[in-house]
Amino acid sequence: MKTYLFILIGSICLLLSISCNKSFGPLNIDPNSVNSKIVQYEKVFSQVELTASGNSDGYTYEDERSNLAYCSLLIQHFSSTFYPGDKYSYNDEFITAFWSRQFTNPMKNNVDLVINLKNNPAEKNLYNIGRIFKAFLFQRMTDLYGDIPYSQAGLGYSQLIKFPEYDKQQSIYADLLNELDDAASKLDVAAANTLNAQDIIFGGDVSKWKKFAYSEMARLAMRMTKVDPVNAQKWIAKAYTGGAMTLNSDNAIVNHIASPGVSPVNNGSGYVLITQDNQNFKMSKTFIDFFKNHNDPRLRYYATVTVNQAGLYGTADFDLGDTTAVNQQGMPNGLDPLGGLVPVNTDPAYPGNILLYSIPNRYLFAKADAPTFFLTAAETQFYFAEAAERGWLSGGATASIFYQLGLELSFSQLIQTGADWSNATAVASADAYLTQNPYNSASGIQQINEQYWVTVFMDEYEAFANWRRTGFPTLIAINYPSMAVNKTGGTIPRRFTYPKTEVSINNTNYSAASALLSGGDKLTSRMWWDKL
């Protein structure tokens, strides 16, 4: 009996020893991750910059859906028999793509970075660069949707705000401008470069970030021309004196690496184009005709015609196409495939085969390693040109000088995308173009913004925003005959509607925001700066 008792007691002791040990130690710390105390925010900032280019998941998500399938077609850089932006139809996933991916990738990480570096003097420059880049990210978002969450955005973890309130675009603009002003003034050019190559845009060059801040300020300022000319004038002047971008080497560019197959280092839009262009994206007739009507030597860098459809990307047969200017033909917007309601052969100039329409140039733009431009010197000079034309830049150059500078930058900027002309040739070509198409102050604003439209090709968000503000270029509104498709009654959309997820999830704040839109949450409603 003693033995039994011994075994029994022994067993119970053993039992207790394995079960009541509540200390699991550091078991629940993920060995494959790092925490906020040891993370290096320089590396987080690289991620912010890269994903801001629109391929945050590696599967070209928002590049395909928002940049190309909507903006590029609305703005008639491209035409498509397939994608919804061509005929103003509604696709929630596509309309939502930019919102859902940018908020949850670069913006989230950027907001977190700014919060965590605020009181870290050693990271003062990164903190202020973070603020500047954050301003750029929110500018793109508000310009697409209107009033958006801003002051409460990205705070899901740090402040547990799951359902952020929407800020009015007017107040967002006011704050973004102040942020840019303040952050730019606090950048310390003399401080050691802690970013270096980890800053994939400027290599940690603080002086370039300063220029970026003032160019971004110019963009915001000019966006307000219709609605708040007083402030527009004030801020464009400040941007000018602050020192904005003047050279193509100042351009904010993310360089991509062609990675076969899906990868976040690809240029998402470029990747979509090479894999889909001779099917789904054609150069719009509006765009090609603009080049042709002005005898623009840049046409061969923008368009190409491929007839070998079997030559797929990645194969030896891949056909870069014929870039001869005379062979380029744009496809009108608003057409269906053969067999559709408005089949493509209703184009009077139908070349007999859809493959004979021009597609985006495969040497420069339709490629996985085409660079992404966020903001450029050419754009900046066009802002200044318009401001000068409006008489807002006292003491600056004349509008025609800015225009010429912008044009030269626009031509030579193509070198950064792979154009095979020298800088001298590019500048000479720009000047020759100017001789053929001289600047005329009476139509100056139109000329400036048409050139802007050509320059920001592939940055379709920017092209769409600038067109809405200025009305240039003149686009051909498509009135597709099926109401099931055509959601605007033939009017070119003025904004992206809010995501359906906001309607169902963040309803209170969504309702408050959409109530402020005259006409409600529609594609045709106008946002604050887009005054009629």
**Sole binder of another protein in the list 67, 105, 372, 466 (CB under 8 A):** 105
Specify the DSSP class assigned to residue 76: T
Q: Could you say whether residue 312 binds another protein (CB under 8 A)?
A: yes
- Using DSSP, state whether 336 is helix, strand or coil: strand
Which tokens go with 482?
């099926």
Considering only the stretches 170-178, 333-341, 396-404, 418-426, report the one whose residues sit in contact with another protein under the rule CB under 8 A. Answer: 333-341
Task: Give yes or no for a contact between 307 and 355, defined as CB atoms under 8 angstroms apart.
Answer: yes
Residue 281 has a CB neighbour count (10 Å cut-off) of 28
Residue linked to tokens 């800088």 = 423
Can you tell me whether residue 204 is helix, strand or coil? coil
Considering the rule CB under 8 A, would residue 324 count as an interface residue with another protein? no
191: buried, middle or exposed (CB in 10 Å: 19+, 13-18, 0-12)?
A: exposed
Query: In this chain, which of 62, 63, 64, 86 binds another protein, going by CB under 8 A?
Result: 86
Spell out the alpha helix ranges (H) of 224-261: 229-242
Alpha-carbon distance of 162 to 154, in angstroms, equals 9
CA distance 295 to 483: 38
7 binds another protein (CB under 8 A): yes
Min dist. Cβ of residue 336 to another protein (A)? 7
Judged by CB under 8 A, which of 9, 192, 257, 307 binds another protein? Answer: 257
CB distance 95 to 66 below 8 Å: yes
**Per CB under 8 A, does 89 bind another protein?**
yes
Residue 509 in the binding site for another protein (CB under 8 A): yes
| Closest to another protein by CB, 15 or 247 | 15
Contact residue for another protein among 147, 179, 216, 502 (CB under 8 A) = 502
Instruction: Report in angstroms the alpha-carbon separations of 105 from 98, 112, 137.
Output: 10, 11, 11
Q: Which stretch binds another protein (CB under 8 A): 122-130, 150-158, 289-297, 522-530?
A: 150-158
Residues paired with 372 in a beta bridge: 254
336 binds another protein (CB under 8 A): yes
Q: Choose which of 52, 148, 245, 430 interacts with another protein (CB under 8 A).
A: 148
Total residues interacting with another protein, rule: CB under 8 A: 111
Indicate the residue among 52 and 222 with the shorter CB distance to another protein: 52
Asked if 200 is part of the footprint of another protein (rule: CB under 8 A), the reply reads yes
Stretch that binds another protein, among 153-161, 230-238, 242-250, 461-469 (CB under 8 A): 153-161
Q: How far apart are the first and last CA of the chain?
A: 99
**325 vs 485 by CB, closer to another protein:** 485
Stretch that binds another protein, among 35-43, 446-454, 465-473, 489-497 (CB under 8 A): 35-43
